[in-house]
Amino acid sequence: MKFHPRRTIRALLPPLAAGLALTALPAQTAQAASTLTNGGFESDGTGSAAPAGWSEYGDTGASYTESGGHSGGYRLSHYSSSAYKVETYQYLSGLTNGNYTLTAWVRSSGGQKAAYLALRNCGSAEQRTDLPISSNGWIRIVTSVKVTNNQCTISVNSDANAGNWINVDDLAFTSGTTGTSIHGADISSLAKSEAKGGVYRTGSGTAGDALSILKSSGMNYARLKVWVNPADGFNDKAHVLATAKRVKAQGMKLLVDFHYSDTWADPGAQTKPAAWAGHTYSQLKTDVYNHTYDVLNALKAQGTTADMVQVGNEINGGMLWSEGSTDHWSQLAGLINSGYDAVKAVNSSTVVALHLAKGGDKAGTEWWFDNAVASGVKFDAIGLSYYGYWHGPLSDFQTTLDDAASRYGKPVFVAETAYPFRLDSDDSLTNQIDTTGELVSGYPATVAGQTKWMNDVASIVEAVPNGRGLGVFYWEATWTAVNGNGWDPTDAGSGNGWENQALFGYDDKALSSMTWFSHR
């Protein structure tokens, strides 16, 4: 992520009011089977009121099959021109106890009080996954549960306002489990914020340690960027070491994000550190190795070994320009591998990730990693930045993420994402996202909209096949508006255009959107 005082405004998209209240519908006894029947809704055709094998409860006229399936000819839809509550469900019995996963392809208009898949009456706690908002592309979601009583009810639920709709198709109920291991956030801004007087409070208003507050909501992984010799003296080796102690004291894991610059590195800028400016390619390889080794070895020596490392930040165009640009793949490969070797020399089990932006760009991601693999680049995991207001729809993001995981056989994660909880500024700098027209359709700039965005992104990562979806890092959870903690390390008076996307409000209180950290 890079900070600019200027913004790009997207075409106006009318936001839908999103609610998060959930309605519990009573369990109904239906015909019993031990395998899911008619998961593709192909048995009856258009207009079937109650699809074969399925039962309905509530405003049953709002639940029906119609043409336009994900793979076959038909799908299940929930829709009514007036407000409705309906459940379409199937009761399974005679199951062998164990872990099961429900997979489904879905679309949704958004705007419902609730729209979700559920697995309930399975002997353990009910499990739910909300439907992401997608009016065009189909999205695959999963819900997993432990069956302990030989039975389970598979349920599709809507508590909707007039005109809201969902499509559901190709359900499968199979053995296995899902979940994500990384529920993280970048907190690189924290040390400077605190040094400049920043305060963090619990949801009830009690001042406290930001990391402790985040941990209490379920955060388990912190991401820290490191610059070589930044003008403001923050995000350097010393500050990373100090913050890492706090991270590990909370029982969290640590991702160290090397920018190999004195300032922001991203697809538009990969400026060499001033100290390396006149160096040859051969010298730069040594610089990368020594700097990477130095920071990581110091972390290890103080008992805070990095669990994951990014060799470069958003390196779509390469790094350490111009020698390490993607115009010189063999040289870029040499620089990345120099960083990889340094990481492994400090600790062989530290995961090395390569990080690209544009998480909805399947073709661009393939081009980059195909070249990397052909050039002998070494890596353990793939991280993508995915900002929905810049990087395309959720369905494109899922396609890109799934393709990267399968094509390269590596685990994948979201290295950065975020969403605004309001549009106005808390300082003098215009926010990066500050108009309704820039928002993702269906996700309002509210705490509820921020919460839903994060849960839906996490659900897509959870659904990556073969357990290759590691999880999500929220970008800059603690970057509230604090005088002196602006985006430009060379300008103490620069503002922060991101405070409306932090996870603490303008009153410094923890936002309830932190609940996303507890996503399955």
Active-site residue set: 314, 416
Amino acid (1-letter code) at residue 205: G
Name the amino acid, one letter, at 357: A
Judge contact between 224 and 187, C-beta under 8 A: yes
| DSSP line for 15-65 | PPP------PPPP-----BSS---TT--SS-TT-SS-TT-EEEESGGGEEE
213 CB neighbour count, 10 Å cutoff:
23
Quick check: 302 and 248 in contact, CB under 8 A? no
Choose among 302, 373, 366: nearest CA to 336: 373
What's the longest Cα–Cα distance across the chain? 75
Residue with tokens 């990969």: 270
Q: Phi and psi at residue 410, in whole multiples of 5°?
A: -125, 150
- Spatial separation of the C-alpha atoms in residues 419 and 391, rounded to whole Å: 13
Residues in a beta bridge with 74: 67
Q: What are phi and psi of 144, to 5 degrees?
A: -120, 150
Is the separation of the CB atoms in 168 and 39 below 8 Å? Answer: no
The token pair at 144 is: 């997993």
Tell me the two tokens of residue 254.
Answer: 């640590």
Q: Two tokens at 23?
A: 């309605």
d(CA 332, CA 320): 9
